[in-house]
Structure 1
Amino acid sequence: MHRVATYQFRCAEDGVFDVSLPMGTAGPQWRCPVCGSDAVRVFSAPMLSRTSRALVAAIDRAEKTRDEPDVVSAVPPRSARTLGPMGAPNPALRRLPRP
C-alpha cells in the first residue's frame, strides 16, 4: 500500500499548484499543467488535519488581534455586561441544605 502525499510546485507563469504522488517520489521540478513549463517544488507546512473553514477563520481573527487589537471607544451597555445564570438550575441542587 502506497501512502499518497500532496506536494506543491510553483510555476513562474501560473503560480502554485498541487500534485498528489506517493510519499518520497516528488522531485525538485514538475511540469506545469497549464503552460507545460518546469515548476519548482515549494516546501510548506504539512496539512496534518482537516480543519473547517470557520475554525481557520476564527484562528486567523484571534491571531490578528494579537498584533492589531480592536480599539474600544466606550464601555458596553449595562445589559451586555450583566451575567445571568449559565443555564437551568440542576434540580438535585435544590435538595442540598441551605445556610
Structure 2
Amino acid sequence: MVHDEGVVPMPLYAYRCGEDGPVEVMRPLGTAPPTVPCPTCGADAPRTITAPRLASADRERVAAIDRAEASRTDPSVVSALPPRASRSSRPTRLDPRTAALPRP
C-alpha cells in the first residue's frame, strides 16, 4: 500500500452490534475504544478481534509468511549435501584491506 508523504495510514477496527451485526471504524493506530455506538440503532457495539488483512500486502511478504508457516509444520527435507564449490571459483574480495587475510 502506497501512502502520500505526511499521510498517516489508519487501520480499520471491527466491532459487532448485537442487533445489526458488524461495524467497521477507521481510527488512528492505537486509539480504538472498547465500544462504539452502532450507526443504525445507537447501541454499544463491542470491539472484536479479527485476522489481519494480508491480501493488501505485497506478494514477496505474503510468500515469506507462507514459507515460514510451512516450515514450522512441514520443513523441507534434504536428501544429499549440496555440491561442493570448486577451488577455482573463489569469491571476489571487495575490500582490499582483507586481501592479506588467510583464505579457506
Q: State the TM-score, normalized to the length of structure 1.
A: 0.47
Q: State the TM-score, normalized to the length of structure 2.
A: 0.45
Higher helix share: 1
Higher strand share: 1
